[in-house]
Amino acid sequence: SGYALAQQTFSAWGHDFTVSQFAPQQMMVGVATDSKTGRKFNVVKLKNGKMMAISPITGMQGMPEMAQDDMVQ
């Protein structure tokens, strides 16, 4: 369980996190649709060409592991 709104701290997976300042950015966004089930989720395309899924923190089973070059900066 966890929560995160437009705030500077949040708790999830038994950890407390601080969040950098929020800054407006222009991003390529889309919706991915599973061709068999029709289920959908949001995706962003990063400047380095990689795609990332956007998911509510409360819907994630555990803390994600991210490589430094996958961070949105």
Please state the three-class secondary structure of 5-37 as a single string.
CCCCEEEECCEEEECCCCCCCCCEEEEEECCCC
4 in any annotated domain: no
For residue 38, tell me if it sits in a domain. yes
pLDDT at 1: 46
pTM recorded for the entire structure: 0.60
Residue 24 confidence class, pLDDT cut points 50, 70, 90: confident
What is the token pair recorded at 6?
């437009």
62: in domain:
no
Measured CA distances, 38 to 49, 62, 64 (Å): 25, 25, 25
Residue 52's H or E segment, with its range, is strand 51-54
Q: Into how many domains does the chain fold?
A: 1
**Banded model confidence at residue 73, pLDDT cuts 50, 70, 90:** low
> 49 in a domain, yes or no?
yes
The verdict on residue 70 lying in a domain is no
Residue 69 covered by a domain: no
Residue 52: domain span: 9-57
Which one of 29-33, 51-55, 56-60 scores highest in mean pLDDT? 29-33
